[in-house]
Every structure is written in C-alpha cells, then in structure tokens.
Amino acid sequence: MKYVIFLGDGMADSPVAELGGKTPLMVAKKPGMDWIAREGRTGLFQTIAPGMMTGSSVANLSVLGYDAGAVFHGTEGRGVLEAASLGIGLGKDDLALRVNLISVEDGKIRSHSAGHISNEEAHALIRAAQEHFQSWPLSFHPGLSYRHVLVVPGGEYRLQTYPPHDNVGTPWRDLPIKPQDSLGPVAAEGRKTAELLNRVVEESQAFLENHPVNQRRRAEGRQPANLLWPWAPGKKPEMPTLQERFGIRGAAITAVDLIKGLAIYAGMRPVNVEGATGLFDTNFEGKADAALAALEEVDFVYIHVEAADEAGHERNLPLKIRCIEDLDRRLVQRVLAGVEEKGWDCTFAVLPDHTTPIALGNHGRDPVPVAIRFPHLAGDAVARYDEESVKGGALGFLAGAQFIETFFQRKA
C-alpha cells in the first residue's frame, strides 16, 4: 500500500464578498482534489488546538498526529524545526528561533518577507548580521529567502513573540518580546533572554537601514529588508518517528525549511526539488515527479506546497485562486495519473494545514476541510472539495491524531 498527502498550505479561507460569499476553494477549478473528495470520505479537521499559536509548525505537526504542545513544551517552536533542516546541531539547552528579514516603514511592519527577498540578498544581510553581533552570545544561520534561524545558547524559550505575517501594519515597537506570565522561578532568565532579543531587533535597524543591499533595493523601487524579527522560540524536541508509530517509511517534498525539519524529526527523508521556491512560481511538476520517484522506495510521501499561503498573506485573491488551480492541475493530477500508471494501491488525502483568510492576511484557527480516498473503501455522498461541502462528510469532525490514524487506518 502507498500513501500520499497533498498539503496545500493555507489554501482554506472564509467566504469572500468579491466571490459572492464563496471561498477560493469553492471557485477554483480543481478536478483532482474534487475526485479525491468524490471517491473518498470527507470532513473537517481542527489542526490548531486551543492555546496553540496559529502557525504552520503547530498545524503540520497536528496533520502528522503529533501533540505540538508536548513536542515544543510551548506554543510554537518552529525555529527548532528549521534548525534541523539547515543541519544546525542544537544542544539540549540551546534556544532556537525563526528570524525573519522584514520591511518596516514609518515605524510599522510593511512586509513579513521584505518583498520576498532573494536568497543571495538575504544571505548577504545575514552574514552581515553575524559579523555585527559576533561578540554577542548568539549566532545567525541563513535559510531560504526571508526565513532564517537564530540560536541563543542557554536562552529561555518560554517567551511571548509575534509572528510578523500576523502583524503587518502594526507599529513594530508595540510588539516587544516578553517572558510568559507562567515562568515563575525562571522569570529572571526569561527577562534576560527577552531583553537580549529586543536589543537585537533595535540594533538591527541601525546597521541594516543603510546596508548596500538595501540601498540598491530602494533605488530599484523594492522594499528594504531593514529589521531582524525573532519569533517562534523553542528547544530541541524529542518525538517518535512515523516508522516507530505506524511502521511507515516516509519522504517529504517541500521548499520550506520548517517542513524539512519536521520531516527529519519524524524520521522522513526530505527530498529537494530544483526550482521549488515556496511561492507561486514553484516547480509543481518537479515536486510531483519527485513524489512518484520517492514512492518507488518508501510507503508514504508528504507533499507540501506553500504557494497559496503566501498569496493569502499578500491578500492577493486572484493569485490565491491561481495557486490552488496550479497545485491541482500541475501536481495533484500528475501524481494521481502516475500512481494509476504504476498500478499501485494508494490512499490519497488532500487538506491545508490551516486557513489563511484573504480578508485578514494572516493564519486562522478554523477547522480545515479534509478528504481521504481509500482504494478499497466506498466514499460518502460529497462531490466537491471545499470548506462547505465537506461538512456533510462521513469523517465528521477530527482532532488530535484522528486524521493520521484514519489515513493510515491504524492506531499510533
């Protein structure tokens, strides 16, 4: 038996007035996803547990049946996952955070991604940051585009931080990093770490503002990457692999370091695809072909596509619809056809990790639509894959590890 999950990051939404009260999923042409729903069983899945941040790290861990709160000992922790993807060795006392290169203007966050800064430009700025802060008790590690990692040896992870994509338009000085209220006897360590990180943010503006990379970007009419923004703190997690839990050998296809790191901790093999960008211009066909090649060797492939989420953050409705249609036409249908050609019995699932409503431009915590097509089980009466249609599906309402246990048809 083979298993494939198509994960369209952030592709679920709320009803949009410009679409007559429909969602992007409801109007997009997506016969591949609709086939999975029509031939399979559908429902809703609560990927963001109460009290957890509405981030992709929490949501993707939930999709794979992990309790994110237990894994992270906190509410977010994507920094440790991205560190694993980048090959950064973390000690048990090391604090890892995601650090974005963001754009600020008139004292407010203008872009969480500095206009999707290129790798070359971003790496030059992160190298400059490492040099500037070389005497500080921390280190910077370059990642992909605007996404990077900051490591603070011995830092306290129980901090209140703010995802920049959820705070576009907010004055950045209104969002200082703070220790969590529940720290108790280690509150002093929390204050010390928070003060260090807030100093990094303040200091970064001074040297990034007039860096040659940003001078050139301004001259070309592009957004400067003029602030470092640490968030999503965490310590190295301990989690059983999918093979230990389900006897499944897996691989992950993604352009995003967060998902690659999650795959590593879950015992899956990350597969790099040339031209995979995490944006609308990603190599959809290359991801599909890499998934089919991986299925020759493993039981399960997790195909993560970031494009619709980024369109949602940009509040670009036509682009979000296009990203959903590209995911279906260029990837989902290609994998479905390839599996059929191979003659494999295969269970397919399609779902987002969370909603990214166009109206808000940030992540939501509403349950997401899910469809699972089992090769030897009859489907339900649902004919289309979208947020409304699946409400009448046979899967009902899923939470915790129920989705992945249903998908693999076995208990962890």
* 73 band by pLDDT with thresholds 50, 70 and 90: low
**The pLDDT of residue 51:** 81
* Structural domains in the chain (count): 2
DSSP 8-state class, residue 381:
S
Do 195 and 244 sit in the same domain of this protein? no
Are 12 and 357 in contact by the 8 Å Cβ rule? The answer is: no
Residue 77 lies in a domain: no
Q: What is the dihedral sign for C-alpha 97, 98, 102, 104?
A: negative
Identify the pLDDT of residue 365. Answer: 94
- The pTM for the full model equals 0.81
Q: Which of 234, 256, 275 represents a domain boundary (last residue)?
A: 234
- Per cent of the chain over pLDDT 90 is 83
Listed residues 200, 234, 268: the one ending a domain = 234
Residues 182 and 315 in one domain: no
Q: Does residue 43 share a domain with residue 104?
A: no
Rg of the chain over CA atoms, in angstroms? 21
- Tokens (6 digits) for 283: 């190599």
Domain assignment present for 375:
yes
| Model pLDDT for residues 191-239, shown as the tens digit of each residue | 999 999 999 999 999 899 999 999 999 999 999 999 999 998 988 888 8
Regarding predicted confidence, which is higher, 357 or 257? 357
Domain end point (choices 214, 234, 254): 234
120-154 in b/e form (b: 16+ CB < 10 A) is ebbbbbbebbeebbeeeebbbbbbbbbbbbbbbee
Q: In this structure, is residue 79 part of a structural domain?
A: no
Residue 292 is assigned to a structural domain of this protein: yes
pLDDT band at 184 (very low <50, low <70, confident <90, very high): low
Contact 211, 170 (CB under 8 A): no
Mean of the per-residue pLDDT values for the chain? 94
Check whether residue 120 and residue 192 sit in a common domain: yes
pLDDT at residue number 182: 67
Per-residue model confidence (pLDDT) at position 186? 63
Which residues form the domain of 202? 85-234
Instruction: Give, for 369, the enclosing helix (H) or strand (E).
Output: strand 368-373
Q: How confident is the model over 326-377, as pLDDT tens digits? A: 999 999 999 999 999 999 999 999 999 999 999 999 999 999 999 999 999 9
- In a shared domain, residues 270 and 398: yes
Residue 112, in any domain of the structure: yes
| 376 touches 25 (CB < 8 A) | no
Q: Is residue 80 part of a domain?
A: no
Whether 8 is in a domain gets the answer yes
In a domain, 78, yes or no: no
- What is the CATH classification number for the domain harbouring 278? 3.40.720.10
